[in-house]
Structures are given as structure tokens and as C-alpha cells.
Chains A and B, each alone.
Chain A
Amino acid sequence: MSATNARLVALLLLAPLLAAGIAVRSPAEPALAQNTVDVDNDNKVITITINANLIGNDLQVPLLEADFEEYWGKEGGYTYRCYKVVFKLDLVAASSPQRGRHTVFIVPTKFGDPFIATVSSPRDYRPAEESATGRWSKWDGSTTQAHEWGHVLGLPDEYNELDTNGNGERDYGEGSVPDPSRAPEYSWTDDSPMNGIIDAGEVSLKPGEQPSLMAELGRSQVLQRHIDSIIDKHAPSLTECQGTLSGTITETPLKDDYRELTRSADFEGWFDIDDDGNVTGEITLTYDAVLTVEDLPGADVGIAAFDPEVGGRVTDPNPTRSYPLTGSLEGDGLTLEIATPEEERERDPIEFTIIADPGVSAGLGGGDAFTAPGGNVQIIKIDMTPFTPFGGFPATVEDNAVHFLEEGDGYQIKWDAELANVAQR
């Protein structure tokens, strides 16, 4: 071999090896996340997509997608604080597991086979970064599938295995019941003979609560705390949401044929919502009151007749007041309240003075009126306790906004709130 040929051979031998080495040392392409999270702060939408391969039965892809939608594709999405939460399933038929995707094996069974769906995942599973492996049957119902997708999203089981034979072990004949320590929608009563452990028949769903998808089969549902848990696992960097608030409240404590007393407050405020859904902020209210007296019957005092028209506006010397705001956001329920106790908000009544001709009565007994000495001056004391626009119950958040309207006999409460994410850690 000539020297030239020898160098050529050496170069040809070396070049691919170098190329291989470079390829090995090159930073790997970022692995696709098993569950991808998209946070759209402009529109306040969190989208969590489960990326999974389906192995064993390609025809199941559209069926599993439809079943997924039934539970996790709730119309309008779920909510997490001031966000709308949308779950999507990117399910692809494949022949083997694939990097960056969960794997669901469809185990070939026939209807009636006593097959039990399982999902395997690492200890302390991080669903956005680690893989889960499901082994399901094509006959698993939508509730079972939704439960298993819940595992893929990082939710644990919320049932408790009974130990009916008391051997301290899990045995095939021992069933399970929802575990109130993990599913607070349920309560446990240690019936007689009391033994300090959960036995069959001792767990029941609390009145008004919904059964948990992760605790039982039945008509169970995805609950708000499931959403909160999933978001905490997928987007732990999300932090404060902020809200703004404005509205009016009007009240007519006195109204008859002649008189109408209306008091009202325009208000606006702001609030922050912390990680636990606690609300803190401030509300500023501007109070007003209006008294009108119309068509008051004329008075005939014998020598003269009067046709009075009296009325006026209560003047509050300090109509604008601010109070700390408190409350909570639980799911889509926003509860607000003035933090200052009501008794500390009380203030002296405002005096409303009517000057009329002698003998004319404004007849304002309902306003705690009295006729001052002199006979032509009536002073009406009007209770101006700063009343609250909040009733202590939650208003529903939809599309990151609240449009609250409550009307009743002689009152109307109307307020709007806008919620927005303002920061990420």
C-alpha cells in the first residue's frame, strides 16, 4: 500500500469514528415531555396534554379519545384559580414504547374476562417528566379509563383496602372503600364494635358532595381538588393571581306612597389570590343616600293650606371609606367579604334635616324622625352602617370573570370582577 493510500485508509477509518464520537457527545435533543403544559397568560388558559402511545390495538385510539373527552374534556374546561384548565390527549398508535410518551398497552381480552386495568409509574412520579405505563383492556369502561388517565396525570388512588380478617395484609377477598383521609368528600363512622379501623359500611359520601373519580367507580367525577393537584404537579411555578373589582349596591329601606329613602354604594377594589386560594385585598366604597318626598298630602291648618314638596340628599361628611378585603377562591367559586368586623364598621347615624312650614309633617317616622323645638324643623336620623355588597357565599367565576347580580325586594347588588395572572415564579 502506498503512503497516500495508507493515509487515506487511516483518514477513512478515523473520520466515522470521530463522527460517531461527536454524535455521542452532542447534547441530546430535548426529550419530549410525557405531559406537556402550556400556560397562556394572555388568555389565562392552562392546557395539559397527555402524550401517549397506544400499543396492541390501533382501532382503540378514537374510542379512547372519545372516552377521555367524556371525563377530562369537560365543556368549558376546569378552573385553577384565575385560569381555565383544558386537558387534551395526544394518543398515537405505535408498535413499541417511545421516548417522551407514556405507553398504554391494550391487553387482548374478551368481554367478561376479569381483567383489571393497571398503571405503573415511578415512585414519587413526576407526570410531566416521567413515563407511566398502562395495561388496559378494550372493554374497560369510560370511568375506569378516566380513573387510569387520572393516574397518568399523577393522581393517586383514594380508596382504602379493608382488612376484614385482621391479618394486617391485603388479601384477595377484601374489598376497598373510599378513604376519607384522602378523599374528604367522604366521612367515616367507627360503628360498633368500634375497632379504630375502617370497615365495610362505615364510609359514606357526605351530603352535597360529589363522589371522587379516584375513590370509586359509580358516578364518580373529576373534582376541583384533583385539578389543583394536577396543576401543582405540572405547573408548580404558577403563583399569584390578581383580581379587580367594581360594582354598586343599592337598598331602599323605606318606601311608601310619599317617601323613598335609597342608600347606595359604588365600590371598587383589588385583591390577590395566593397558592391556597386565599384572597387578600382592599375595597373602597363611596356611600350615598337619597330621600325623596313627593305628593305629601297637603295640610290644612284652618287659615292656610300647604302643598309641600320636600326631599333632598343625605350628605355624608365622609362618604368614601376603604376596608381590607378577604375571601377565598375554591374552584370556580369566589367568595369575598369585608375583613373589618361589621360592628367596627358602624358609625353614627347621619342627620337629615327638613325645614318645613309650621304644621307640616314630613311623616318620616320610619327614619327615626322627630320634630325639633321650634316646630318647623324636622330632623331625620338615617342609619348609615356601611353595608356590604357580599353575602358570604361564592360567586361563580366564568372565563376569569364574575358578573354578580342579585335583586330582591328593595335591593340590588351588582358587581363585576376580573381575574388575571400577574406573575410567575
Chain B
Amino acid sequence: MSASAAGDRLRASVLLTVVLAAALLVACGGGGDAPGTDEPDDQVQAEPQGTVTEESAIEAVESFDPADEEAVASLNDIVYDGGDYVPSLEPLLESEDPNVRWAALYVIANLTDTEDEIGVLTPILEDDEVIFSVMAAGSLAGLGVVDALPALIGGLSSTAQLPYSDPPQPLSSFALLTLERYTGETFDDADEWQAWWDDVGSSIVWEDGQYVSD
């Protein structure tokens, strides 16, 4: 064996050693926790990023149990993830379990953005349950769906609350804020909103993120 070959092997061994040691250091977490770094922390309770899959999204909605304190937080993880889960969750809008149906609507309404997703949500505007129609309308109002406005006006007279809202928020307050935001109008009560809609509803259009009438 030549001295040169032995030296090459030595250098290779040293390099391997350094690499192994560095890997070991990282694996053992011995790199320190310098302030200002973004090291993940195993104490942190939840880390939504990258943990949601289509299957887990369906599972979270199907198993939605409002008695579980983390139930809504689990749905929020799906919304935060922002994946294309609406097609997978659409069938759950027909669930016999009203809580599952609500959970499906909650995720879909918060994820709806595309024309296809709008198509999934729009039929809910006609739902007999005002909570469902107003939740769908809130989402669709921000996407230029004019038919969302009468559904929101219908919610102004509701005494229900936005389910599981924290702190509790009246559904009527949710509807009113959405109407005011997207129409730029303010009225004293539901009757005045209805009168406004009767007057301008047929001519109202969506322009630059706002509903305007001729």
C-alpha cells in the first residue's frame, strides 16, 4: 500500500468521522437552542403544517365531536393546510349526523375559492337550516355570488349563534358584518336590509371585491 493511498484512506476516514459526528449531533439535538432559531419544539401542542392528508381530513370531519375541546381546532388545521379537500368532503354535506354535516360545511366554506368549490357550496344557500345557509353565504359573499346576499339578510333575524364560536357570536352579527363589508351599506334592521335588497337586488353586480348596483 502506498503512502498516498494510505493518506487518501485517512482523509476519507476523517471526513466520514466528521460527517457521522455531525449527524449524531443533529440527531441527538445537541446543536443548542439559540434564541431566534425556528427549531421545532416538542412541547408545542399542535403543528398543523404538513400533517393533514385527504384521509385525515375526512376522518376529522367524520369523527367531529363537539364535546371534544379540540374538535374545532382539528378542523382549523385542515383549513390552515389549505389543501384541495373540498371534493373529498362534499359527500359529508349529506351526512345524517348534523354535527358531521356542520363540520363538513365549516371546512368547505372556509376552503372554498374556486368555481368548482363555489358549485359545491352554492346549493347550501337554499338550506332550510338558517345556520347552514348563512355560513355558506358568508363564504360565497366574498366570492361574488350575488345570491349569498339574500341568504345573509335572512340571517339577520336569526337568534341562533355561529356554532361553537369562541367567544359566542350571534349569527345575525356575523351576517350583518359580512353584508356591511361587501355592500358598503348600513341599515338599522333586517327590514331595511330587505327593502334595500328588493330595490337593488336585480341590478346588483360584483365589482372589485364589492357589490354595487347601477
| Residues of chain A having any CB pair with chain B under 8 Å | 1-2, 5, 8-9, 12-13, 16-17, 19-20, 23-24, 26, 28-29, 31-32, 55-56, 94-100, 103, 105, 107-118, 120-122, 130-133, 135, 143-144, 147-148, 157, 159, 169-177, 200, 213-217, 220
Contact = CB atoms under 8 A, between A and B. Distances in A.
Sort A-B residue pairs by CB-CB distance and give the 9 closest, nearest first.
A16-B21, A23-B30, A175-B161, A172-B102, A99-B41, A97-B44, A135-B76, A112-B138, A118-B73
Interface string B92-111: 00000011001000100110
17 contacts: A9-B17, A13-B17, A20-B30, A24-B28, A28-B33, A95-B38, A97-B44, A99-B33, A112-B178, A113-B138, A114-B135, A116-B165, A143-B167, A148-B166, A157-B167, A174-B163, A217-B170
A111 B181 contact: yes
Contact of B43 (A19, A23, A131): A131
B interface bracket (residues with beta carbon within 8 Å of A): 35 or more
A1 B12 CA distance: 13
A16 B37 contact: no
Given A95-B38, A107-B79, A214-B167, A24 B30 contact: yes
Given A121-B45, A175-B168, A115 B99 contact: no
B45 A176 contact: no
- Most chain A CB within 10 A, of B67, B80, B182, is at B80
B173 A217 contact: yes
The main secondary structure of chain A at its interface with chain B is: loop
A170 B67 contact: yes
Contacts of A112: 138-139, 141-142, 178, 181-182
A112 B183 CA distance: 12
A9 B174 contact: no
- Most chain B CB within 10 A, of A100, A116, A147, is at A116
Given A20-B21, A116-B164, A143-B167, A105 B80 contact: yes
Contacts of A29: 32-33
Contacts of A131: 41, 43-45
B129 A173 contact: yes
B119 interface: no
A16 B178 contact: no
Contacts of A17: 21, 24
Contact of A117 (B134, B166, B174): B166
Interface stretch (B46-54, B55-63, B83-91, B192-200): B46-54
Contacts of B44: 97, 103, 131, 133
Interface string B1-43: 1000010011001100110111011001111110101111101
Nearest to B98: A172
B171 to A, nearest CB: 9
B127 interface: no
